[in-house]
A and B are shown apart, each in its own frame.
Chain A
């Protein structure tokens, strides 16, 4: 079940996970608000005060001891100072079983803090699960609070950020808790592609609090699998690909999230944001003229090209440690947010495989949904051959990337830096998939395959293979075959790439393209 996978970016932090079973028998020695003769005003103040305290000083201290911040501290750090407007501070859970109805087990606001605020002046809705209250477990009330802000975010068209720190379902509530999850999931799905949804996992988030890990339901009660093995930050950023970035600690994660947020439009009704940039749009980058090595078997770092081209060398890479043979992330060109996809020749020669196809596809679809132009740097020798890939369904997964590029209606600019071989050439935002501007560098080679392999097939068993190979190189290992057919629009000097892209983006800002009406497409899942 991949529900929040519609959520654009999940940022995992923290490898430490200490408490997994929601506390069922929480006791507090003194709860003063049961005294009934207080005035309403006093009761309001007391409830507010209690809500600010969450699960109480002791648990706050315990949270700090674990090197974690409280739900409120996180919100404060994430949002602009004094911009947080809280909702549902007085909501309490409605569970009456297992002694939960007692006053000492009621916490104003329950186990989540919700509201809206601003990040660099821009509106955002936030929920932050409070681990100090019942381990952040999800009650019906908790879910209802989250749903409320999600609904509001949808109506005004602003992103939702979830700061997750939850042990899972509130077991005492049973099906009500499950219903709560489903309510959130539905909204996740409805909001997908409408507003950016970002999850920051800051502690345990078993069960459904972040539904990507839904299959790990049992992790709440697991005995033999360590939390880190099952779903720690490292697993999800390097192996499973569920999470997109991992950070050292809460503060690093939250501050980076502020930075990341700046790349996003508030909703699918907004164009890609343009922020003030000090980098001139017609800056030439002479160092690119010889970045591609002469020998086509030699690797180079695609990140060097990306850093040199984008504004101020600032590239916010997504999933940097997963399927490293493809690089995806956000940057700005002349202040405007762009999504960048690039094959990485440094890793597995930059060839496409199952994981990199899926990573790329998801990123491309995110950009398309939120009007973010896509710039694609191509140096791909093909799809990775082998039984593991075939059995794993490379055809279906590779098709996802093709599907995503083909379907995208945002401005698409493609630069072939070197190899564009075989089917992978088609996939990588080629002209044929409605690329708006497709450039080739002089080092580009658009062909079915490398010269050696091609000659071995065409002239199998014949002599003069070397001669034939030289002929093949002369004919195909250059940008001309594609250029004479108009499959690339121009062969450009690498140094001018930034300037050209900036100019094209300016023109393409008014691009309008509509796909045929359909209920929805049927991407090969």
Chain B
């Protein structure tokens, strides 16, 4: 079966009822989801009722992870307390929890990171334990200490482990001591080129040479032999001296085509530790994971065991308890090297839950109460395959994803599908604001095989309805169907390698394009036909008795004449001599339009915002006359923000040089005791700011100029 889509971005401008609709045409192999009705548990539900843990847990987090933790608490019969900022007061996690406490205003430093307020919330509600989720205070040893001082359990590791693993250098030393593979290297003063060569030879080629003081990959040179090492030494030592005034050099094993593979560990307070297999997290952009899967296609049982055992050694070395993750870089020869350990629940934990059947949150709660692990290493299975896509409110066409904000005017998770799990903390009507992470949800699918899980993921992405914000589903769908990804040939450089010029959306093949044009034309006709369906008339109406139409469909710059004929409920569309048969229920109110195109099930979505490339359908006459219409002149009023009303400037959220995202608040004008937020209409750099808080402005006054 050919799979096709047009990102999410195909547009279709229909002059009639479906005006300016954009169609995301996606494929959906419906046959695979036919009649499996019963839903499998995504993680174990074997909580022993006799095992008393806590009466009440406070979740010091927001969004999907707070909801995730609350779900398990409910299952275990534990009361829950949510904390929230003022703007989150009607958030999903607040509604789900038994109690909720506002801990401050929108900025995280004033709410979710506000330890005083959270400690107060704990006292007021009498929570016995705190689950920190990830991010925020999850790896904050100060917070853990304050909880300990008040006798409140921290659902996570001890402060000692948090501290030890929180320090990059210390954690490497501990890892080394625990006989965990670390990236071989040398950090210090190298006097001569020959000394550098000697070190490089000890490490083994290729090596990476850079100034110790230089951050990240800055000034990094890669040497594959002695000669290149000498050269690298000269450059780097010069740079070290001149740029940083610090002679020290870092010579380290260079890992080509690295994969990011991590091991989930679970340990109790009694010295028991397990490894719960790996997660492959190589698909990243700007060091942020986008698509994860478990297990990895790359690991063989021997490597897996070796990595798992080392991870457990490390956990034991720091007396780790609770769930944690040991991250490794794996090179093309399956050598693996310790990167860091995350002493918290990871974002991508659901895929581990799917393949092992364990509820990690439940295990964390048990461990925090002091119970021993229920499982032994032999009990930990790999059942099937699980994939996770992180669905973000961001524009994937810009650097693989720049945040977008807005109100989710329509939102529908693909939960109608079997073996799909969606971890989210938002709902229709929620705002994706600039204050917090723009993640909409984690979409997880699983199956007996990787192919099954991937197929389901395609379906799930196609059935996911998100309106009101720009989202990255087009990119996610492109990744999971890319031959390189499907074959498992991936590395952390996957995105820049596959899309060297950035992500441009799905490129349609001829067949797929025809099917898209045909589907758009059929929707146009369906809308046209419905436009004439009125009930009761005083003046006789002449219904359009037509079963044959000539249309012109525009796809971006391309134009294509099509002929449609309808017989019964089947439309036959003739494009360029080829015939496409389209059939479907055509409920024009539904955001999801399942169509059968040439015998294949497709899921279409219509969007009302303008994206490119878009599909526009015109009658043949309109298309002909359209050639007389002048080209639309592009106007640019977007660079200037003027006050829409007289009022007082309450706040200015930007300063010159800042980069603002489309929809981001620039300033707030108060008029009639009402605060009006003025937002950027495009993403741009702030050129100049002409107002300051407290100032009175008149209508039309220039407030901010963008570049």
Contacts and interface: CB of A to CB of B under 8 A. Distances in A.
A273 B534 contact: yes
A482 interface: no
Nearest to B630: A67
A278 interface: yes
B539 A156 contact: yes
A8 interface: no
A289 B19 CA distance: 28
A97 interface: no
Interface in B581-632: 587-590, 608, 618-619, 621-622, 625-626, 628-630, 632
A259 B16 contact: yes
Interface in A128-175: 156-158
Contacts of A156: 539
B273 to A, nearest CB: 44
B439 to A, nearest CB: 19
B265 to A, nearest CB: 40
A286 B672 contact: no
Interface in A283-306: 286-291, 294, 297-299, 301, 304
Interface stretch (B146-154, B220-228, B469-477, B525-533): B525-533
A120 interface: yes
Nearest to A283: B589
Contact of B645 (A73, A76, A301, A348): A348
A258 B15 contact: yes
A240 interface: no
Interface stretch (A87-95, A243-251, A427-435): A243-251
Contacts of B427: 286-287
B539 A290 contact: no
Interface stretch (B119-127, B200-208, B540-548, B566-574): B540-548
B90 A290 contact: yes
Contacts of B188: none
Given A123-B541, A277-B589, A299-B676, A287 B429 contact: yes
B645 A248 contact: no
Contact of B672 (A250, A294, A348): A348
Nearest to A76: B621
A308 B409 contact: yes
Nearest to A156: B539
Contact of A69 (B89, B590, B618, B628): B628
B621 A77 contact: yes
Contact of B673 (A122, A287, A349): A349
Interface in B537-557: 537-544
Given A120-B544, A256-B15, A274-B534, A299 B539 contact: no
Contact of B675 (A120, A298, A312): A298
B428 A287 contact: yes
B534 A275 contact: yes
A269 B408 CA distance: 42
Nearest to A450: B673
B544 A248 contact: no
A276 B644 contact: no
B539 A67 contact: no
A258 B541 contact: no
B192 interface: no
A121 B542 contact: yes
Contacts of A48: none
B358 to A, nearest CB: 33
A294 B429 contact: no
Contacts of A298: 674-675
Interface in B492-539: 530-539
Contacts of A83: 542
Given A76-B621, A291-B429, A120 B531 contact: yes
Given A157-B538, A297-B675, A348-B672, A255 B622 contact: yes
Contacts of B270: none
Interface in B664-707: 670-677
A76 B624 CA distance: 12
A304 B630 contact: no
Contact of A258 (B16, B428, B618, B677): B16
A315 to B, nearest CB: 11
A80 B544 contact: yes
A307 B536 CA distance: 27
A251 B626 contact: yes
A73 B629 CA distance: 13
A401 B98 CA distance: 47
A365 interface: no
Contact of B19 (A158, A259, A278): A259
B530 A275 contact: yes
Contacts of A210: none
Contacts of A275: 530-531, 533-535
A333 B540 CA distance: 24
A123 B543 CA distance: 11
Contacts of A450: 673
A347 B429 contact: no
A249 B645 contact: no
Nearest to A269: B538
A205 interface: no
A259 B17 contact: yes
B334 interface: no
A297 B673 contact: yes
A68 interface: yes
Contacts of B676: 299, 346-347, 349
Contacts of B619: 81
**A68, A77, A273, A286: residue with the most chain B Cβ atoms closer than 10 Å:** A77
A313 B608 contact: yes
B428 to A, nearest CB: 4
A16 B17 CA distance: 28
A506 interface: no
A258 B619 CA distance: 13
Contacts of B540: 123
B428 A266 contact: no
Contacts of B52: none
Contacts of B398: none
A86 interface: no
Nearest to B89: A294
A43 interface: no
A251 B429 contact: no
A251 B622 contact: yes
A64 B628 CA distance: 6
B482 interface: no
A320 to B, nearest CB: 14
Given A83-B542, A278-B587, A278-B588, A255 B16 contact: yes
Given A68-B628, A259-B15, A270-B538, A278 B589 contact: yes
Nearest to B650: A297
Contacts of B588: 278, 312
A110 interface: no
Contacts of B89: 294
B355 to A, nearest CB: 34
Interface in A172-211: none
Interface in A61-87: 64, 67-69, 73, 76-77, 80-81, 83
B589 A312 contact: yes
Nearest to B644: A347
Contact of B535 (A80, A250, A274, A278): A274
Contact of A157 (B408, B410, B539): B539
B629 A118 contact: no
A31 interface: no
Nearest to B590: A278
14 contacts: A67-B630, A80-B544, A118-B541, A120-B534, A121-B544, A158-B539, A251-B618, A252-B15, A256-B19, A269-B538, A278-B590, A298-B674, A349-B676, A381-B672
Interface of B: 15-17, 19, 86, 89-90, 407-411, 427-430, 530-544, 587-590, 608, 618-619, 621-622, 625-626, 628-630, 632, 644-645, 670-677
Given A287-B427, A297-B675, 15 more contacts: A67-B630, A81-B619, A121-B542, A123-B541, A255-B16, A258-B15, A259-B15, A266-B537, A270-B538, A275-B531, A276-B530, A286-B429, A290-B90, A290-B429, A312-B589
